[in-house]
Amino acid sequence: MNFADTQLRDRPLFLAPMEDVTDASFRFICKQYGVDMMYTEFVSADGLIRDAYKTRLKLNISDQERPIGIQIYGHIPEALLEAAQMAAQVRPEVIDINFGCPMNKIAQRGAGSGWLRDPQGMVDITRRLVQAVDIPVTVKTRLGWDEQSIIIEDLAEALQDVGIAAITIHGRTKTQMYKGEANWEPISAVKRNPRIKIPVIGNGDIKTPRQAKDAFDQYGVDGIMIGRASFGHPWLFREIRHFLDTGEELPSMSVTERVVLAKMHLAKSIEVKGERVGVLEMRRHLSCYFKSLTDFKPVRLKLVTEDNPEEIFRLLDFIDKKWGGN
């Protein structure tokens, strides 16, 4: 499939941009399990143009991660334009505009899904941004602000007309946040629209290989983006790809395999962010990798409080020894 001038295999799988999750170490892990395209964490336009150190670090991408997109968000048009030009300098495959984040601290300021209150403004800034950079621009958004303003069909046409190369649609409104079930029917309607020529990527509630296949088969999307379901379960991409290719489900990942994964992830996190920060930011992942184990609470507590990486590696060896038969 041609996605914004990048050739991907049929029925591609995308890793969604997630704040404090899709850093370089997590992207490295997901790449091992067969994700087709990834995105950075959200990059604040305001932070980037103010040269905020932590924001600038989010632009660090490597050739091993390609194809990759940088997603930017903000509510001030001039800041978005300048930030997009800065992001384009590191040559990602795409610049993605975040028109979908529903968190109130972002949306109430007019950024993220806050733009859905001003669809014409969304189209206008997208036109300007497409003209401002020399690499493809894509958009991630939602169905509308609320159930009374499902505007995605008309909005997708308008965004295509001003030059976006692809659109990713989350099957909820802003006011739904992440509650209820994602509604893929409007996503399918966009894809079925004969005027829509750009790839349409569906997003929302894909947690199993069978759900992924059903999304392709029932809704006709060009690709699937997976976010929250990959947290603590990055091998989901491998499971889905195997099911799409063979129709068979892989056996559950063993504890020993998860220990190997956890060690690899921890080592990469330390390599990328240094020992102190690398260990701190791994805690949320380590506890999730083993959350299904019985009588695990005392070990989990140690995993999420230990600062010494050597001791964490020893704890992981202990987990393998005690639960490795599972």
Question: Looking at the domain covering 255-323, what would its CATH class be?
Answer: mainly alpha
pLDDT, position 326: 58
Spatial neighbors of 118 by CB under 8 A, at least 6 apart, are 110
Catalytic residues: 101
**Which residues belong to CATH 3.20.20.70 in the chain?**
2-245
**Which residues belong to CATH 1.10.1200 in the chain?**
255-323
Phi-psi region of 177 (alpha: psi -120 to 50; beta: other; left: phi over 0): left
- Helices 255-273 & 309-323, crossing angle to 10 degrees? 170
Strands (E), the chain: 2-3, 6-7, 13-15, 38-39, 43-44, 68-73, 94-99, 137-142, 166-170, 200-203, 223-226
**Is residue 165 within 8 Å of 5, Cβ to Cβ?**
yes
pLDDT, position 291: 84
* Cα–Cα distance, 200 to 197 (Å, whole number): 9
pLDDT, position 19: 86
Question: What would the DSSP string read from start to end of 36-96?
Answer: SBEEPSPEEHHHHHTT-HHHHHTT---GGG-SEEEEEE-S-HHHHHHHHHHHHTT--SEEE
Q: What is the pLDDT along the chain (326 residues), one digit of tens a residue?
A: 999 899 999 999 999 999 888 999 999 999 999 999 999 999 999 999 998 888 988 999 999 999 999 999 999 999 999 999 999 999 999 999 999 999 999 999 999 999 999 999 999 999 999 999 999 999 999 999 999 999 999 999 999 999 999 999 999 999 999 999 999 999 999 999 999 999 999 999 999 999 999 999 999 999 999 999 999 999 999 999 999 999 999 999 999 999 999 999 999 999 999 999 999 999 989 989 998 899 999 999 999 999 999 999 999 999 999 998 75
How far, CA to CA in Å, does 200 sit from each of 63, 113, 140, 146, 180?
A: 25, 18, 10, 21, 22
The CATH number that domain 2-245 falls under is: 3.20.20.70
